[in-house]
């Protein structure tokens, strides 16, 4: 009789578990609404291609302050990255090469999204890859959110007039990135 009771209790527990699992999987409303709410909260402030890049001021390595946005003498590439991002590690040496190659027509600004990173790790990343272009820290992630950043790396190409040419989410091949740079730097 005890074996039958144990079996019955096991079957009942299994049925209850399965019912809870089915209810939980069929009711993702809370997680979806939080995601939608997050997107809606940043969508109003987010910019897109064809719009003027918003002016922002960020502190860089060594405490230097940089202003991004607005008309400049050169086109600008904003590179949003995190130290733990493997594609960012692949891209870093290529960005150094592009910064040198296009130094007369393009400013590259590396922006560590410190709200998704750890600043000492970011500083080690800068040293490890010997980044030759200015690097700044987006401590709260506000600038990253303005550009609809959802992936690392995110590259934003801005022409000399301060107009956003393109926002690229994720890693491009070096050739693809260079083609986009040529499009924004050549008349």
Encode the chain (187 residues) as per-residue pLDDT tens digits. Answer: 566 566 665 656 555 545 444 444 544 433 222 233 333 434 456 788 899 999 999 999 989 999 999 999 999 999 999 999 999 999 999 999 999 999 999 999 999 999 999 999 999 999 999 999 999 999 999 999 998 889 999 999 999 999 999 999 999 999 999 999 999 998 7
pTM score above 0.85: no
pLDDT of residue 106: 97
- pLDDT score of 13: 53
Question: Looking at residue 187, what is its pLDDT?
Answer: 72
pLDDT of 22 = 46
Strands 65-68 and 56-60, bridge-based pairing: antiparallel
Give which of 150, 164, 96 is closest to 183, Cα–Cα: 164
- Report the 3 state secondary structure along 113-164: CHHHCCHHHHHHHHHHCCCCCCEEECCCCHHHHHCCCCCCCEEEEECCCCEE
Distance CA 51, CA 38 (A): 22
Residue 30 confidence (pLDDT): 33
The confidence score (pLDDT) of residue 28 equals 40
């Amino acid at each position: 009789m005890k074996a039958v009771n144990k079996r019955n209790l096991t079957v009942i527990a299994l049925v209850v578990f399965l019912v809870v699992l089915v209810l939980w999987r069929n009711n993702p409303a809370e997680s979806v609404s939080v995601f939608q709410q997050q997107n809606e909260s940043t969508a109003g402030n987010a910019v897109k291609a064809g719009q003027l890049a918003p002016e922002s001021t960020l502190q860089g390595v060594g405490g230097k302050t940089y202003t991004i946005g607005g008309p400049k003498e050169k086109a600008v590439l904003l590179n949003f990255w995190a130290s733990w991002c493997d594609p960012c590690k692949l891209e870093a040496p290529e960005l150094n090469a592009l910064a040198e190659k296009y130094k007369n027509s393009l400013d590259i600004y590396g922006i560590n999204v410190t709200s998704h990173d750890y600043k000492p790790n970011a500083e080690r990343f800068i040293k490890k890859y010997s980044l030759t272009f200015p690097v700044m820290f987006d401590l709260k992630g506000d600038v990253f959110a303005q550009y609809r950043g959802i992936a690392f790396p995110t590259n934003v190409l801005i022409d000399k007039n301060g107009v956003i040419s393109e926002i690229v989410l994720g890693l491009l091949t070096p050739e693809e990135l260079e083609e986009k740079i040529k499009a924004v730097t050549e008349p």
